[in-house]
Every structure is written in structure tokens, then in C-alpha cells.
Amino acid sequence: MRADRPAAVLFDMDGTLVDSEKLWDRSLVDTMAWLGSGPLTDEARRETVGGNLAFSVGVLLREAGVEATAQQVTDTARHLVARTEELFLRGLPWRPGARELLAALHDAAVPAALVTNTGRRLTDLALRTIGEQWFAATVCGDEVPHGKPAPDVYLRAAHLLGVPVGECLAVEDSPTGAAAADAAGAVVLVVPCEVPVPGGPRRARRDTLAGLDVDGLAALFADVRERTSSPAR
């Protein structure tokens, strides 16, 4: 691995590689109707972006005014996952530039991992569109003790790849995901999709991955490393 490149690139999935947040919108609306409620408010929907299944179910029940009994949580999660699965099976649209960047990293022998709060069942469905061949490791939110914004998924991915997480570049679209990557110690490339994402000292930003190649990614990584390693003036 060249010193001016990240040791690995760790990609979020929903809203970063594929434009699946719009599919989640539909399954959330359907699940709220199943709970006997109208759709989520814009504020509540923003809460769920980048969140794991348990957190999203909690938001749904709270907004629907339904008691979060153990059985209700289980039933609601099952309904939400089943509806999302139906939508995922129809295919997932790529985010601009994502497929091209994955191919470029693969050709340049830069390891990549998929690091998502989405559970393994839905992630494996999504990989039918994305392609497992791009990733040396995949880590899902139901495979670690705590999902994003905790750093567990990122720490696990770096461990599986055998690289220091501080030498990795994470690509994220949400405040929750960016917070997880920050907490793990990775450099973060923020590419917002559905909601604004605040900046930070270890964060770079682009509107889209379109036109970004390996050298461009390395330059973003090096710029953040230089800024954060320079002594304060």
C-alpha cells in the first residue's frame, strides 16, 4: 500500500453506495400505516436516517403512539424488514459515481469494506445489486454489540481487514454514520444524501462521488491527515 493512500476504504451502504433511503421511506410509511398512524414527520424521519433497526422501530412506535412492548417491537421490526425486503428485491439504484469508484479501488488493489447499520438479511439482498466482489469484508449492524453512532462496525471492519482504523477512510452520507466513523478514529468523507451532515476536523466533503478516482480519494485523505496533524497556530 502506498503511504499517500488510505490503508482501506470503508463504505456505508444506504444513501452512500445505493439510493435506498427512498425505498426505506416507502417501507416506513407502510409500517406506520400498519401501526394505524399517518407518516412520520420530517423531523422523525431524519432521526431514522443512518440508524439501526432497533432505533428506527423505537421511533416508529413513539410517533405512532403505540406501546413498545417486547412483542410489539418484534412484530414491527418483522413488518418493516419484510416490506423493505420486497423493495430491495426489485433492485437498488446506484448513487452517482459509487460503482465506478468501487471498481477503481479494486483495480488499484485498495481494500474496501462494506460497513452498514442495516442487518445481514437485507444487506445480502442489496449485495445482489452492489456485488460482493468489491469487498474484502462486510459488517452489519446486527453483528456488533452497538450499531452506529457507536464505532463498533468500523472497528470490526478494520480488524477484519487487518489495518489500523486510523489509516482508513470512511465514506458516509448521514450524521449517524459520520459520528460512528469519527468515534472509531477514521478519516471521514461525507457525501450527504437525504439530510445535512455537519463538518468536523477529520472530515472531508463532496456533493457526489461522481468523477472521484483513487488519486482524488487519496488527495482528500492526505489533506485531512495533514490538517489534523499540523500543530495549532
Determine, yes or no, domain membership for 1: no
Task: Report d(CA 211, CA 101) in Å as an integer.
Answer: 8
Three-state DSSP at 187 gives: strand
Overall number of domains in the chain: 2
Same domain, 116 and 198: yes
pLDDT attached to residue 3: 58
Same domain, 195 and 116: yes
Same domain, 72 and 122: no
**CA 142, 27, 92, 197 torsion: positive or negative?**
negative
pLDDT attached to residue 105: 97
Same domain, 128 and 195: yes
Same domain, 60 and 147: no
- For the chain, which ranges sit under pLDDT 50? 1, 232-233
Same domain, 58 and 109: no
Same domain, 103 and 211: yes
Q: How far apart are the first and last CA of the chain?
A: 32
- Which CATH number belongs to the domain containing residue 183 in this structure? 3.40.50.1000
Same domain, 105 and 141: yes
pLDDT attached to residue 54: 83
pLDDT attached to residue 232: 46
Q: What is the number of helices (H) and of strands (E) in the chain?
A: 9, 6
Domain with 40 in it: 21-88
Pairing of strands 187-190, 112-115: unpaired
**Which pTM value belongs to this model?**
0.83
Give 143's DSSP letter: G
DSSP 60-81: HHHHHT----HHHHHHHHHHHH
Same domain, 111 and 164: yes
